[in-house]
C-alpha cells in the first residue's frame, strides 16, 4: 500500500469515509476524476488535495505527508519514502532522560548500518547529519522514548515523519517489547542473551576498560536497528492485506 491509495489524510475524510471510497472502486488517486460515485463537492476537495500531494511527492517532501497522515496510519508513508527511511534505536544508561545518558545510537538506511558511540563519534552534529539524510524515521517505541531522549540529551528538535512500529504492531494484536514481537513473527536475532538491562551493564564494563563489552553492545544495538526493517516489511504486508487488499481488484493499484 502506498500514499496514492490513501484518502484519510484529506481533511474531513475519516476511516469510514475512506473505506466507502474503496468499496466504490476508488482505491487510487487516479480513480477520482473518472468516477461518478461521489458528489462533485467531495470530488473537488479530493482532487485539490491530490494535486498538492502529487507536487510534494515529486520533490520528495515527506514532511507534507507526515503532517497530514494520522499517527496510527503513518506506516502508509513507508513505500513512497523507503529508499531513505532510517531505522534507528538507542541505548542509554537508564530510563530517565533528565539524569541518564545516551551511550549508542544505531541506524540502518539503504542497506548500510552504523552505530555511533558516546565519547567517540556520537555528537550532536553527527546525529543531525543522520536525521537530515533521512526522509522518514522508523523505530519501536521511539516516539515515547528514543526521540525525547535524544532531544533532551543533544538539545535538538527532531521533527522528521516518524513510523513508530509499536502502534501498528498493537493494531495487529501484537503486544510486548521489540524482542517479544520479533519472536512472535519468527524474526531471528543473535545475542538473545542481551536486553536493555544488560546493555547498561555492558556500557559500565566498557567504562572500566572492557573493549569486548563495547563490541557486544554495538553489535546488539546494530541488530535492533537492522531488524526494524524486516519488522516493518512484515507489518506493512499484514496491514495491507487486512485493511486494504480486500477492496483492490488490480495489483497495479497497490
pTM for the predicted model, two decimal places = 0.93
* CA of residue 112 relative to chain centroid, distance: 17
The answer on pLDDT for 252 being more than 90 is: no
The dihedral through the CA atoms of 73, 242, 167, 169 has a sign that is negative
The answer on pLDDT for 248 being more than 90 is: no
Contacts of 133 (CB under 8 A, 6+ apart): 84, 86, 109
The answer on pLDDT for 96 being more than 70 is: yes
What is the rounded average pLDDT for all residues in the chain? 93
Per-residue pLDDT band at 113 (split at 50, 70, 90): very high
* CA of residue 193 relative to chain centroid, distance: 26
Quick: pLDDT tens for 143-197: 999 999 999 999 999 999 999 999 999 999 998 888 889 888 888 777 667 788 8
How is residue 210 written as a grid cell? 572492557
How is residue 196 written as a grid cell? 536493555
Contacts of 105 (CB under 8 A, 6+ apart): 88, 89, 90, 91, 115, 116, 122, 127, 130, 150, 221
Q: Indicate the domain borders of the chain.
A: 3-59, 82-186+201-236
Per-residue pLDDT band at 33 (split at 50, 70, 90): confident
DSSP letter, residue 17? H
The answer on pLDDT for 124 being more than 80 is: yes
Per-residue pLDDT band at 86 (split at 50, 70, 90): very high
Q: For the domain with range 82-186+201-236, which CATH number is right: 3.90.1300.10, 3.30.420.10, 3.90.1640.20, 3.50.50.60? A: 3.30.420.10
pLDDT at 250: 57
pLDDT at 13: 94
Cβ atoms 100, 94 nearer than 8 A: yes
What would the DSSP string read from start to end of 109-165?
Answer: ETTEEEEEETTTT--HHHHHHHHHT-SEEEESSIIIIIHHHHHHHHT----S-EEET
Amino acid at each position: 500500500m502506498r500514499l496514492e491509495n490513501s484518502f484519510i489524510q484529506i481533511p474531513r475524510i475519516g476511516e469510514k469515509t475512506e473505506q466507502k471510497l474503496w468499496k466504490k472502486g476508488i482505491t487510487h488517486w487516479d480513480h477520482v476524476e473518472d468516477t461518478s460515485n461521489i458528489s462533485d463537492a467531495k470530488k473537488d476537495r479530493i482532487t485539490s488535495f491530490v494535486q498538492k500531494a502529487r507536487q510534494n511527492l515529486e520533490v520528495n517532501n515527506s514532511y507534507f505527508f507526515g503532517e497530514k497522515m494520522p499517527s496510527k496510519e503513518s506506516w502508509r508513508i513507508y513505500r513512497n519514502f523507503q529508499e531513505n527511511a532510517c531505522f534507528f534505536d538507542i541505548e542509554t544508561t537508564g530510563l530517565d532522560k533528565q539524569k541518564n545518558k545516551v551511550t549508542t545510537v544505531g541506524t540502518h538506511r539503504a542497506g548500510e548500518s552504523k552505530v555511533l558511540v558516546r565519547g567517540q563519534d556520537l555528537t550532536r552534529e553527527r546525529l543531525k547529519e543522520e536525521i537530515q539524510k533521512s526522509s522518514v524515521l522508523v523505530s519501536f517505541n521511539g516516539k515515547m522514548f528514543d526521540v525525547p531522549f535524544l532531544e533532551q540529551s543533544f538539545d535538538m528538535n527532531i521533527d522528521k515523519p516518524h513510523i513508530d512500529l509499536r502502534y501498528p504492531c498493537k493494531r495487529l494484536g501484537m503486544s510486548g517489547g521489540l524482542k517479544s514481537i520479533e519472536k512472535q513473527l519468527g524474526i531471528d536475532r543473535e545475542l538473545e542473551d542481551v536486553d536493555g538491562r544488560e546493555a547498561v551493564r555492558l556500557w559500565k564494563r566498557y567504562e572500566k576498560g572492557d573493549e569486548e563489552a563495547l563490541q557486544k553492545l554495538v553489535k546488539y544495538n546494530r541488530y535492533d536497528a537492522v531488524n526494524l526493517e524486516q519488522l516493518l516489511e512484515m507489518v506493512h504486508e499484514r496491514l495491507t492485506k487486512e485493511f486494504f487488499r480486500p477492496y483492490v481488484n488490480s495489483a497495479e493499484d497497490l
